[in-house]
Amino acid sequence: MSDGDGAPGRLSGRLVALGVTGSIAAYKAVELLRLLTAEGADVVVLLSASASRFVGALSFAALSRHPVETDVLELQADGRIGHIVVADSADAIVVAPATAHWLGAMANGLAADVVTAACLATSSPVVVAPAMDGDMWTHPATQANVARLRDAFAYAIVEPDTGSLASGQSGVGRLAELPRIVDAVVAAVAGRPIRQPDAGARPPLAIAPVREEDLGGRHVVVTAGGTREPIDPVRFIGNRSSGRMGVALAEAALGRGASVTLIAADVSVALPVDRARVVRVETADELRSALLETLFGSPPAPPVARFDALVMAAAVADFTPRAPAAGKLSRGEGLSLELRPTPDILAEVSRIARGAGGPGSPGDGVIPRPVLVGFAAETGSLDRAPDKLRRKGLDLLVANDVTEAGSGFGSDTNRVVILDAEGGREALPLLSKRAAADRILDRVAAALDARDAAGQTAAMQERNA
Ligand code: CTP
């Protein structure tokens, strides 16, 4: 062990993946993680959905210092596929506790959870420590699955102990004593070279590399989600936006030290209500009012900057029913809706901020000049994007093709192209929405720094004149 005597642990330099599945014994995996770490292992945890109902990912993340893999479909912040990174870099995978259900899924190669997916994808040794009720353990199905894992897959099985079980009965099925599981991992890796000594090829650290607070002291306003335009008190015209991209932008801006106002229409993700000023809206008109008040005050104030950047990720309805019905419409003979176009909110903000007119526009616009970022969800081609950027008077336009796999509404990933007012075009690879958000904010931070540097130079020239 790597304790006070300074002797290297038996797993020193190894990466061990700890797969935890949904047994009552899942809490013991926290202690197992500690024991593996005490042997010098770098441990990354894979948590099945049912296991996360017994033990939260946070304990594992805090102790392992790696993000916990919980979802086969989720990408890491840097865009890599989490369970594949684990499968390719771990020296061993230890599944403890392994439930009867998990043994069945693994025996049949059903990779619906991160633990089976990583085991299927790895060429490293796998150690399995089952835990369950005594009758489940002795059932022929379980025994057949265990035999398959041991004989056909060459997995090391750490047989459960006999003792009192969660049901109150006594029998065989208790998770093996933890030192026995650690010994099995040590035996499994013995004589093998360390697979991936390069930390860069291993799973990332949970404590994300400390980002410079390059938006510290900035007020970033983000809009997110889809607006809902009422047809009657029950029905509305909506869209497929989940708000994921906008919320990722707000989270990323908070992480970089900005003070954030998030104006959220309909979203299907949690909002950072404790760290940002969050304003909830429903319709395009409500979004417009909330945004104009946040950006320019009410009534619109003199040209004092109340915000540094606006990132307009909301999917704003382009049309709204001209006269929503006061009472619920009945099916009757059918329905024809008369729609009116909604105001182009972003274009209006741009006109006011740039001093080019608009209601209450301060003549010279807002000083210092805020950075305006629009989004364009296109289908099939991004040809219309440069014109949209010009028409709306934006600094940056983030365009994506929502028909592309992995880039649509509700997905956790996005492939975007960032266009700028100088005609530049930066095509980003498929990234998690959080990683894409940070790349967008890299551009915002750089634009704000350039703005301030230009302002200082102008002020100096004025003083010297
Ligand atoms: N937007 C807005 N107000 C609207 C519609 C859109 O502020 N009434 C904003 C969106 O939040 C987005 C940008 O404008 O940041 C581009 O939205 P998009 O729907 O692609 O552009 P439209 O102006 O609606 O152009 P078109 O309908 O021709 O695609």
Find the CATH number of the domain harbouring 81: 3.40.50.1950
Q: What is the pLDDT of residues 356-367, one digit of tens each?
A: 754 444 567 888
pLDDT-wise least confident of 232-236, 315-319, 358-362, 437-441? 358-362
Q: What are the pLDDT digits (tens) for 374-389?
A: 999 998 889 999 999 9
Instruction: Tell which of 144, 174, 201 closes a domain.
Output: 201
pLDDT tens digit sequence for 199-244: 778 888 765 555 678 999 999 999 999 999 999 999 999 999 999 9
> Ligand 1 mean position to 442 CA, how many Å?
23
3-state secondary structure 51-92: HHHCCCHHHHHHHHCCCCECCCCCECCCCCEHHHHHHHHCCE
5 occurs within a structural domain? no
Ligand 1 atom closest to Cα of 391? 23
pLDDT value at residue 211: 66
pLDDT of residue 5: 43
- Give the separation between CA 72 and CA 203, rounded to whole angstroms: 14
170, 201, 232 — which closes off a domain?
A: 201
* Binding site membership of 397 for ligand 1 (Cβ less than 6 Å): no
Residue 3: pLDDT band (50, 70, 90) is very low
- At 224 the pLDDT is 98
For the segment 366-372, the average pLDDT, to the nearest whole number, is 92
Q: For residue 38, give both structure tokens.
A: 């005490």
Alpha-carbon distance of 232 to 236, in angstroms, equals 7
Q: Is residue 438 part of a domain?
A: yes
Span 148-171, average pLDDT: 91
- More confident position, 356 or 392: 392
Q: Please give the residue that has the higher pLDDT: either 312 or 69.
A: 312
Whether residues 288 and 379 fall in one domain: yes
Residue 360 has φ and ψ, to the nearest 5°, of 70, 20
Query: Is 4 inside a domain boundary?
Result: no
C-beta 375 within 6 A of ligand 1: yes
In this predicted model, which residue has the larger pLDDT, 46 or 429?
46
**18 within ligand 1 shell (Cβ under 6 A):** no
The pLDDT assigned to 210 comes to 53
Residue 313 C-alpha to ligand 1 middle, in angstroms? 10
Atom 6 in ligand 1: residue holding the nearest Cα: 316
Mean of per-residue pLDDT scores for the chain? 90
pTM for the full model? Answer: 0.62
395 and 264, same structural domain? yes
The pLDDT, as a whole number, for residue 1 is 41
Contacts 24+ apart (CB under 8 A), 333-338: 337/231
